[in-house]
């Protein structure tokens, strides 16, 4: 496979047990289908429930943007923003592979970590309900969907405690003196 930026051979590299392809020259990374999600989940397990399904968001594809050639399929890739971030990724509609330029993976991780901190209580309630549905009908395995649900439920609890300091203070007092002595 050739780098879509430099046209030099990509080298195989194992990151957290997942084999990816990286350009030695420009440090761009090629992810086969679903590898970006797996790397993101391993890099920060709190992000496991934040998945961006590219195929459901064709409205985010850019028009008339210079397109890179997929290193796997040799067709022009589409350009789109990762979710609502400013990170532009290159996506192959044939093999579902993703090309990230240097430091774009780190930018995606930072974007998602910030998203966790800025979601409202309502956002967390909605996400919890969606994750509960995905336990039964989600695209991932039951265990994977359960982990996603457990993570979002934990963040919902945090958001409730932040939004309701009296509950938080009451729980702290209860932990300090469980028998109210």
> pLDDT tens for residues 66-104?
689 999 999 999 888 888 888 989 999 999 999 999 999
Among residues of the chain, what percentage have pLDDT more than 90? 46
Average pLDDT, the chain: 88
The pTM assigned to this predicted structure is: 0.80
Q: Which residues contact 70 (CB under 8 A, 6 or more apart)?
A: 4, 76, 77, 92, 94, 95, 97, 99
Which residue in 64, 79, 61 sits closest to 4, CA to CA? Answer: 79
How many Å separate Cα 10 from the centre of its chain? Answer: 24
Contact 109, 115 (CB under 8 A): no
- Contact (CB, 8 A) for 23 and 10: yes
Nearest to 118 by CA among 78, 77, 162: 162
Q: Is the pLDDT of residue 164 over 90?
A: no
Would you say 30 and 22 are in contact if contact means Cβ atoms under 8 Å apart?
yes
Phi, psi of 12 (to 5 degrees): -75, 140
Q: For position 97, what pLDDT does the model report?
A: 95
Q: Taking residues 11-30, what's their average pLDDT?
A: 93
């Amino acid at each position: 496979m050739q780098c879509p930026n430099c046209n030099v051979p990509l080298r195989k590299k194992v990151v957290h047990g997942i084999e990816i392809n990286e350009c030695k020259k420009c440090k761009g990374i090629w992810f086969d289908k679903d590898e970006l999600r797996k790397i993101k989940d391993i890099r920060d397990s709190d992000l496991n429930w934040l998945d961006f399904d590219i195929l459901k968001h064709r409205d985010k594809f850019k028009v008339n943007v210079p397109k890179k050639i997929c290193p796997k399929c040799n067709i022009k890739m589409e350009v789109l923003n990762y979710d609502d971030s400013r990170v532009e990724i290159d996506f192959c509609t044939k093999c579902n592979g993703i090309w990230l330029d240097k430091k774009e993976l780190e930018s995606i991780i930072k974007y998602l970590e910030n998203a966790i901190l800025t979601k409202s209580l309502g956002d967390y309630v909605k996400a919890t309900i969606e994750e509960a549905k995905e336990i039964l009908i989600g695209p991932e395995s039951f265990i994977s969907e359960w982990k996603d649900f457990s993570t979002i439920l934990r963040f919902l609890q945090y958001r409730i405690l932040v939004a309701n300091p009296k509950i938080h203070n009451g729980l702290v007092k209860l932990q300090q003196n469980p028998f109210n002595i």
